[in-house]
Amino acid sequence: MKLVICEKNIAANRISQILSEGSVKQKKIGAVPVYEFPAQGQEWRVIGLRGHIINLDFPVRYREWWRIAPRNLITVDPEKKVTERGIASALKKLLNNDVSVIVATDFDREGELIGVEAIDLVKKYNENISEIKRAQFSAITKQEIMDAFSQLTEVDYDLSAAGESRQVIDLVWGAVLTRFISLTSNKTGKEFLSIGRVQSPTLALLVEKEKEIQAFVPKPFWRIIASLNKQKAFEADHEEGRFWDEKQVTNIFNKIKDASEAKVKTVAKKTQKEQPPPPFNTTSFIQAASYVRVSASQAMKTAEELYMNGLISYPRTDNTVYPKSLDLDGILTKLKQSEFADDVHDVLTHRRKQPTRGKKKTTDHPPIHPVDVPKTPLKGQSKKVYDLIVRRFLATLSEDAVSETIRATFDVKGETFKAKGYRLIEPRWKKIYTYIKSKEKPLPDLIEGEVITVSKMMLKEDETKPPKRYSQGSLIAKMEELSLGTKSTRHDIINKLYQRKYITFSPFAPTPIAIAVVESMSDCDVVKPKMTAELEKDMDLIAEGKKTLQETIDESREMLAKVMQELEKDKQKIKKNIKEASRKQNTIGTCPKCGEDLLIRMSRRGKRFVGCSGFPKCKNTYPLPQRGMIIKTDKVCEGCDTPIIQVKTKGKKPWEFCLDPECSLKENEKKETNGK
Ligand SMILES: [Zn+2]
Ligand SMILES: [Zn+2]
């Protein structure tokens, strides 16, 4: 019997359909689906895991936070425990026969580790396994799966060791640092704080940017803009651009403000070619997903579903160069049978000689590309993401766009103005990849020496703007540049920062506690990218077979011990900073009874409420809704003098109210509604 182990049930289902050519029966062992069919003169069974079926954790006696100093965890070896018992027992039943096993999980570190976890169980249940092989593929399509199963390879234990080292390192670092910061700041339970190997340097990037924004002092400047006219109106700027001296700009403006004519001095036309963007890898895909307003983690989740359903290639890849073996014509033929038929036609009539290519080339997976067209129309987010991937793919095969820039200068009473026009002559890929809007700015046909009308002269005051905040996409690109995390983890890190209340999504900015945490550790290596980048490099070396799992874990423990030394030295500073920031973040107004601050607090049972910081002297409290985000408004209720707060719940309109449930204004409201 052949037993095929897939990463998930949905993959198991599709792969068994392909291998059996449709003659598959689904059975269940317990609640776990198993697919059965005969092929090549043998019985086949295909089973899907649920990603990791084994979890890594500290032995029970180390789990209580208060009982053990965080630094003592550094040298404790984590234990492996089966978390998916149903799947484990289904595997055990299937192994009662003479079995050869084929691992068909996703082909990367994580997938290899998931496969090796299953192999460890398999070997435990049946010592006489005749053979264990690996099927490697980059897409769940007939061609790829058939090829993978006819050219089976060996399981790559170096690759899985690289995945395992990340698991161990992240568990130990996460536990030690998180317990340290939570215990130090006296924030445990639901509201615990965390520090992490990748998380903290990433948060530091956001804090650094926020401080630049806060420290920014806007500087005023002026511009002179002429509204000119030749058949149609267009604008020209004074050649100086920004004037920093008000007196100087006023003098010039007064000299020309009544001008009615402008003489065309020079006209220069230039045509240029614009190359389509390179194929998508994970990072550029996540960045582009923001064009269709899909967040980083949603983009990855949707892409994984599209992959499992056999519509796109594997979405976790650094590669930006199509391999020679990729059947581009075959994909175009498939896309011809879809709503992209017209775009495919455009590509085929104006196809570039070589597809575009990016800087990164790897051999594990091709860049993200479509592999099939949906049988039933996609909807919502799936459609947006699939369309984006198809359009990008088509763009990479298209000829360059051709555009024209026109630069013209004008004389107005001795002052020079300039205007720039832009128009697309041959849109080519820009017509297909419609997410990047070209700024069409037409200028009339201008002739050197001719005189045209000035319809208006304007003096505009403006000021310099603070640096821009990161977007999720630009943060992920920055993380990649600094080697923080991997293509598979970066979007998760951002989500974790949000869950820990270190950042808000709109605006994408750190909270006061995040700023305090990062500032109080600013001398420590844990908020700098260097150390974590070193560890990422070590993990790459494991995958290449140049370093062992144990060496890397031992080194990471030494690093962590050093980090803890630094942190413990600063313990008092950290404690004080976080306490102040936490108070700032939780203050929502002034107590009407005693004038002290009102704070959002947690009861012993984990319910939130508003309490007075004057406690125990002042025992004033107010109830709070248990769900939604609470936002301070700085408004005070005229009826009861308590602060007015705003509550935002996902999918609902924000809701504003004062804290006192017995406020006289609310009584009136009730009466009014009852009266109606
Ligand atoms: Zn009070
Ligand atoms: Zn009120």
**pLDDT per residue over 183-192, tens digit each?**
998 887 777 8
For all residues of the chain together, what is the average pLDDT? 92
Across 469-497, average pLDDT: 91
CA dihedral (314, 542, 121, 31) positive or negative: negative
Distance 662 CA to ligand 2 centre (A): 8
Which residues, 6+ apart, have CB-to-CB distance to 599 below 8 Å?
A: 583, 586, 587, 588, 610, 611, 612, 613
As a whole number of angstroms, the distance between CA 284 and CA 474 comes to 10
Proximal ligand: closest to the CA of 611: 1
In 377-470, DSSP assigns E strands to 401-412, 415-426, 451-463
The answer, yes or no, to whether residue 420 has pLDDT greater than 60, is yes
Residue 651 CA to ligand 2 centre (angstroms):
26
Q: How far is the CA of 592 from the centre of ligand 1 (A)?
A: 7
E strands, 1-129, are 2-6, 25-29, 32-39, 42-48, 54-57, 79-82, 100-104
pLDDT digits (tens, 9 = 90+) for 114-150: 999 999 999 999 888 889 999 999 999 999 999 999 9
Cα torsion 608, 610, 611, 613: sign: positive
Q: Compute the average pLDDT of residues 300-319.
A: 95
Question: In angstroms, what is the span from residue 581 Cα to ligand 1's centroid?
Answer: 20
Ligand found nearest the CA of 637: 2
SS3 447: coil
Q: How far is CA 358 from CA 278, 367, 473, 484, in A?
A: 5, 10, 18, 21
Measured CA to CA, the distance from residue 241 to residue 464 in angstroms comes to: 13
334 CB contacts (<8 Å, ≥6 apart)? 370, 371, 372, 373
Q: Is 199 exposed, middle or buried (0-12, 13-18, 19+ CB in 10 A)?
A: buried
User: How far is the centre of ligand 1, averaged over its atoms, from the C-alpha of 612 (Å)?
Assistant: 5
Distance CA(386)–CA(377), nearest Å, equals 11
CA–centroid distance, 590 to ligand 1, in Å, is 8
3-state per-residue secondary structure call for 516-572: HHHHHCCCCHHHCHHHHHHHHHHHHHHHCCCCCHHHHHHHHHHHHHHHHHHHHHCHH
Which of 468, 298, 475, 477 shows the shortest CA–CA distance to 388? 298
- Cα–Cα separations (whole angstroms), residue 205 to 296, 420, 585: 17, 36, 20
Give residue 502's pLDDT: 92
**Residue 202, Cβ density class (10 Å: 0-12 exposed, 13-18 middle, ≥19 buried):** buried
Neighbours of 77 (CB within 10 A): 10
pLDDT of 675 reads: 43
How, if at all, do strands 131-134 and 100-104 pair? parallel
Task: Report, as an integer, the average pLDDT of 365-393.
Answer: 96
Closest CA to 561 of 531, 539, 540: 531
pLDDT score recorded for residue 628: 80
Ligand nearest 592 Cα, by number? 1
For tokens 């996460």, name the residue. Answer: 174
Quick: pLDDT tens for 74-123.
999 999 999 999 999 999 999 877 899 999 999 999 999 999 999 999 99
Annotated active-site residue in 314, 386, 433, 622: 314
Specify the DSSP class assigned to residue 595. Answer: S
Angstrom CA distances, 181 to 70, 504, 568, stand at 10, 21, 10
* pLDDT band at residue 676 under the 50/70/90 scheme: very low
Q: Report the pLDDT value the prediction gives residue 557, as an integer from 0 to 100.
A: 95
Q: Is 650 exposed, middle or buried (0-12, 13-18, 19+ CB in 10 A)?
A: exposed
Ligand nearest to the CA of 642: 2
Alpha-carbon distance 494 to 650, whole Å? Answer: 19
- What pLDDT score does 362 carry? 85
What would the two tokens of residue 384 be? Answer: 């947006």
Name the DSSP class of 634.
E
State the Cα–Cα distance between residues 280 and 315, nearest whole angstrom: 9
pLDDT in tens, 548-604: 999 999 999 999 999 999 899 989 988 998 888 888 888 999 999 999 999 998 888
CA dihedral (364, 367, 368, 374) in degrees, to 10, reads -90
Question: What is the residue type of 291?
Answer: Y
- pLDDT at residue number 668: 64
Lowest pLDDT segment from 174-178, 249-253, 278-282, 521-525: 521-525
pLDDT in tens, 619-652: 999 999 988 878 888 899 998 999 999 887 777 7
Dihedral sign for Cα 476, 480, 484, 488, please: positive
Before 507, cis peptide (omega within 30)? yes
pLDDT recorded at residue 396 = 98
Query: What would the pLDDT profile of 422-479 be if each residue is shown by its tens digit?
Result: 999 999 999 999 998 878 888 999 999 999 999 999 999 999 999 999 999 899 999 9
Closest C-alpha to 286, from 396, 394, 385: 385
C-alpha closest to that of 493 among 117, 227, 170, 254: 170
**Bridge partners, 223 (sequence order):** 460
**In the prediction, which pLDDT does 94 show?**
92
Cα(179) to centroid of ligand 2, in Å? Answer: 40
∠ CA 530-531-532, rounded to 5° = 95
Among the residue ranges 182-186, 325-329, 337-341, 352-356, the one predicted with the least confidence is 182-186
> Among all ligands shown, which has an atom nearest to the Cα of 612?
1
Token code pair at residue 364:
């594990």
| 314 assigned to active site | yes
pLDDT value at residue 669: 61
Q: How far apart are the first and last CA of the chain?
A: 75
Residue with tokens 């052949």: 2
Query: Which of 98, 96, 114 has its CA nearest to residue 12?
Result: 114
pLDDT at 674 over 70: no
User: How many A from CA of 661 to the centre of ligand 2?
Assistant: 8
The whole-number pLDDT of residue 14 equals 94
Q: pLDDT tens for residues 208-230?
A: 999 999 899 999 999 999 999 99
CA-CA distance, 99 to 25, in Å (whole number)? 19
Ion ligand 1 neighbours, Cβ < 5 Å:
591, 593-594, 596, 612, 614, 618, 620
CB 318 within 8 A of CB 285: no
Instruction: Answer with the residue of higher pLDDT: 652 or 168.
Output: 168
pLDDT of residue 673 exceeding 70: no
User: Which residues make Cβ contacts (< 8 Å) with residue 659, sequence separation at least 6?
Assistant: 589, 598, 610, 622, 637, 640, 642, 643, 644, 645
pLDDT at 459: 96
**How close is the Cα of 582 to the center of ligand 2, in Å?**
26
Look at residue 13 in the predicted model and tell me its pLDDT. Answer: 95
pLDDT at 672: 52
Q: Using CA atoms, how far apart are residues 69 and 82, in angstroms rounded to an integer?
A: 27
Q: 305-314, 360-369, 661-670: which has the minimum mean pLDDT?
A: 661-670
Amino acid in position 604: R
Q: For residue 634, give Cα distances in angstroms to 507, 612, 620, 631.
A: 19, 17, 19, 10
What mean pLDDT comes out for the span 340-347? 96
Average pLDDT over residues 50-59: 92
